[in-house]
Structure 1
Amino acid sequence: MATIRKPRIEPKIDSESEPDPSIYATLRRDIAALRLKPGVRLSENELAARFGTSRAPVREALIRLVEDGLIEVRPQRGSFVSAISLQAMEQGRLVREALEVAIIRRACEKKLPTDAIAKCEAAIAQQMASRRDPERFTHYDDMFHRAFAEGASLHGVWAIIEREKVQFDRLRILSLPAVTPVNLLIEQHRDILAAVIRGNADKAEKAIRAHLSEVLRIADGLAARHPELITS
């Protein structure tokens, strides 16, 4: 007699309960670029309609953003984009400076590949062309810094920097181009690149530290000018 096999029943996966990384990443970018400014209320229903999904993955994304300190939940009122925290910015800046110094010194020791140098030069050229566009200028700023990490084979270290620098980015976007002189930032990039190409690790480190400290010079002034957006 032939054996009758019972059909295998696959476990049901509730896709609605799985967080959608694209929703999280998109909202995080919108907050970092100040397309979603501090104080803006985030409606689960409106976001679900925007992304063409149910509320469940939107809720998962919002929970992650709360953990990142980018969203605060106000009882009986809803979820709102958090104010820019100067304390969180300084913590992120310290992490970024420590890691970028290590990246720059490694780039000097290993000798930066020609394709990485070309990316840095292209980023500087694009920054010059986008002086009046804070979001584009910041995009090419990141391209410049990331090129050193990629050239030094430290992609994972740059991923850590990306996670830590979001408050830094928000303040930087707010400061451009009226408060932070973009020509100074471009000149600092040129100094960093020149030192790395020459293999002068000490000079490159000094240049990157000065560059990443620029935000401290304007932080208090921005906080006084935008108290509705920035908190200590």
Structure 2
Amino acid sequence: MSAHNSLTLTPAATATDQVFHALYSKIVTLELAPGAKVSEAEIARSLGVSRQPVRDAFYRLSELGFMLIRPQRATTVTYISPQALFDARFIRCALEVECLRTAIDRVTDDDIAKLNALVAAQDEALQTNDKIEFHRLDDSFHELICDIAGHPKAWVIIHDQKVHLDRLRYLSLTIGAQSALDDHVEIMDCIRNRDADRAEKELRKHLARILKVLAQVRDTHPELIEANAHQRRL
């Protein structure tokens, strides 16, 4: 598979971590598309590692819902599951709303400066069309709000859940990056003015955008969506 040839390793604690992060990135950016077959032997050879860390990385990705491992059959990248997306968005919204409201009670001028710097860096990434950096900075913005609230573990839970959103989020950057950045600007205005009610409204609007993206992807890229997904009115 051609995608294997472009896999590279970055420094990490273990070989399994390196393989995991390399494959995770390829899946999120759709370089390994839903339905693609993946081979332990081919990936091990392309990355110059033994098959055991590849097998372990496959298991971790399957636990996240990114890979389907079946005995005596090819391992494949899973299709985007609307149900998993709905669940992940619900959990993310519930946790982030509480973190945002708490953060507004605790935020300092230094915190605001750090958040402003992230928004400015996002704007720069948007201007240079650096989707991967924009995506990373988007996460950093939301993570910092959880940290300011004094609940860093909330982001750990959100991070584990949002993997179901990330493929759609990456797709949405082509058409929705400016809207995402504009949302962050509005949220920042609420934080500076200590307006928790308006901040919650803006955050809910921001996190609901993924539902519109799902509707668009169903129309434009139906091959990416789980064929027998439970249908729900958006």
The one-character-per-residue Cα deviations of 1:114-137 (angstroms, maximum 9, x if unpaired) are 343223212222222222333222
The aligned residue for residue 151 of structure 1 is 148
Q: For 1:204-219, what aligned pairs fall within 5 Å after superposition?
A: 204-219=199-214
Residue 47 in 1 paired to residue 43 in 2?
yes
Q: For 1:96-135, what aligned pairs fall within 5 Å after superposition?
A: 96-110=92-106, 112-131=107-126, 132-135=129-132
The aligned residue for residue 3 of structure 2 is none
Q: Which moved more, 1:154-163 or 1:132-141?
A: 132-141
Question: What SS is found at the alignment partner of 1:20?
Answer: helix
The answer as to whether partners of 1:19 and 1:60 remain within 8 angstroms in 2 is no
- How far the C-alpha of 1:95 sits from its partner, in A, is 0.6
The answer as to whether partners of 1:103 and 1:152 remain within 8 angstroms in 2 is yes
The amino acid of 2:59's aligned partner reads I
CA RMSD between the two structures: 2.0
The answer as to whether partners of 1:96 and 1:164 remain within 8 angstroms in 2 is yes
Separation of aligned partners in 1, 2:166 and 2:119: 18
The amino acid of 1:195's aligned partner reads C
The aligned residue for residue 74 of structure 2 is 78
The amino acid of 1:28's aligned partner reads Y
- How far the C-alpha of 1:151 sits from its partner, in A, is 1.9
The answer as to whether partners of 2:15 and 2:49 remain within 8 angstroms in 1 is no
The answer as to whether partners of 1:69 and 1:82 remain within 8 angstroms in 2 is yes
Question: What SS is found at the alignment partner of 1:84?
Answer: coil
The answer as to whether partners of 2:37 and 2:74 remain within 8 angstroms in 1 is yes
Residue from 77, 84, 90 that aligns with 2:86? 90
Question: What SS is found at the alignment partner of 1:38?
Answer: coil
Separation of aligned partners in 2, 1:195 and 1:40: 43
- How far the C-alpha of 1:210 sits from its partner, in A, is 0.7
The answer as to whether partners of 2:190 and 2:196 remain within 8 angstroms in 1 is yes
Residue 201 in 1 paired to residue 223 in 2?
no
Could you say which structure has the higher helix fraction?
A: 2
If the length of structure 2 is used for normalisation, what is the TM-score? 0.83
The answer as to whether partners of 1:32 and 1:167 remain within 8 angstroms in 2 is no
The aligned residue for residue 181 of structure 2 is 186
Q: Which runs of 5+ in 2 are unaligned?
A: 1-13, 230-234
The aligned residue for residue 173 of structure 1 is 170
Task: Label 1:49 to 1:117 Cα distance change in 2 as closer, same or farther (>3 A).
Answer: farther
The amino acid of 1:139's aligned partner reads R
The one-character-per-residue Cα deviations of 1:148-168 (angstroms, maximum 9, x if unpaired) are 112222211111111100121
If the length of structure 1 is used for normalisation, what is the TM-score? 0.83
